[in-house]
Amino acid sequence: MPGVRMMMMKVQPFIASLIDSYFIAFGVLIGGAIIGSLAAFLTGKPPLTEAYRISNYIRVWAIVAAIGGTFDTVYSFERGVLDGQTKDLFKQFLLILAALGGAQTGALLINMLTGEHTS
Mean per-residue pLDDT over the chain, rounded = 83
The torsion defined by the Cα of 16, 19, 20 and 24, in degrees rounded to 10, comes to: 180
pLDDT in tens, 13-64: 888 889 999 999 999 999 999 999 999 999 999 999 999 999 999 999 998 8
Instruction: Report how far residue 75's alpha carbon sits from residue 97's, in angstroms, rounded to the nearest whole number.
Output: 17
- Confidence at residue 117, expressed as pLDDT on a 0 to 100 scale: 64
Burial class of residue 21, CB neighbours in 10 A (0-12, 13-18, 19+)? buried
Domain ranges of the chain: 15-114
Predicted TM-score (pTM) above 0.85:
no
